[in-house]
Structure 1
């Protein structure tokens, strides 16, 4: 049986062919026999209570000079698609939120949405990790500057970051001397108007911020360690980090065991865990990346694993 798959993503013409995970997933879907349809967030709408989209048929190619071909736009009832991938990058702003409501309508009307729209809303990528305190470093979420200062005074070496950033944006390392602590907290909290996170600094960041991918509760046995460039504390590739693929450690696998059952329960089929040293720091549910780098290093086909999980779910629906 041939299934249909819609993807909601940022403009496909502007992606990085060599690194983009969404493209890798779409190539795997096409290879698995899915008929592809392309939507940008602005293409989604509700007609009464019906989830709709102005979609275009999509073909993808393993060619850096020409990696996609789009058909003409046509109106599509989203619930009639077998599955949909939500692959829009953060920030998780109101427009992202509204898209999840439309996709939730599509889900009610019959489409399998990956990841589940309600869980995209419920599982803030910073705060969701705190549901597994046995895996996390000492941390605080607050907008109270006195409380945040006290956390720094206790742990002395602290990372402060916004709750809605990506790619290392807005991440500050506040060292034991407390230099610029007041300015950092004023900026991140907007003088006490916004909640932020503080985490005890993990010195193992020098060995890399590991991205571990979990597909339908099963872990990919390799990760991508994103190693900061000299003078940086952020390993994110978008912040200049260097990627190095590695096998998982025993501790990495233990962390996944703690988290994976909850991911399955919440309909989170494709998730990226961020682990520094022995600690879980974030759970990425919106648009996890690093597939291409791991596939290239170890010959895996992570996209095919996800498509197999989606196909299995669709077959169970009958």
Structure 2
């Protein structure tokens, strides 16, 4: 039974080992032209290069995530209507809600796609670094010689990138490793929190801040950093570098999208309108054009539907009556 599952796991992970190792070794060969090939700097920069390549490849998934998140926000008023209508029937409510998402072409789980796709790559890097440090064993195109260099590579000449906080804290290991690991764990946790907070504070309309979707976002806001903070103490330094750089990429990418293409009715949209107005004012000032004059809108009263009463004509008199008068 264990052999069967081991064979399945190997079949899944082997392609990932080749993908990760090809990018990693390629960057290492490039940086080795100017840096010592067995030094920590070349391998750390190779890990950063691997991160950038992976995140660039995931841009289509990120775009899909943003669109799905925006559609989810815009659908919240309709979701609340369904809750009022079918609140007594949970099964019917769930069915109608999923039908609403299906008709809108969105999926509540699409926001997790980039993280879910990255997890196997993250695991492959973790296994490669672990095997390289323990056994000097390479995976994919990473030879045993390069694996030994990878496992022994050190930051600042004293912090091996294969070491973890947990092993050094429980085994009386290097204080330098413990300090660097703590800094990276805090950086990874903080950037995860700030990424979720950035999305909620800037790109969610007021009506989307309540309801089940908002509760899901608030839960992720605190649960994800907590999960990464707890598990990060067992991650090698090299893996912590990968995940922190990935979070920084996410923050920058998300900032660009929110700034230039905000969701309707959000603080980000209001800020963009103000920036566009200020930019237009500066453009007019450079060209010496006058500011547009605000025209007063005169409200036109609608014509009355009732016609004015006809003027009453005087009664016609005879000549003798006119003489008397």
Normalising by the smaller structure, the TM-score range is under 0.3
Whose helix fraction is larger, Structure 1's or Structure 2's?
A: 2
TM-score of the superposed pair, with normalisation by structure 1: 0.26
TM-score of the superposed pair, with normalisation by structure 2: 0.26
Higher Rg: 2
Whose strand fraction is larger, Structure 1's or Structure 2's?
A: 1
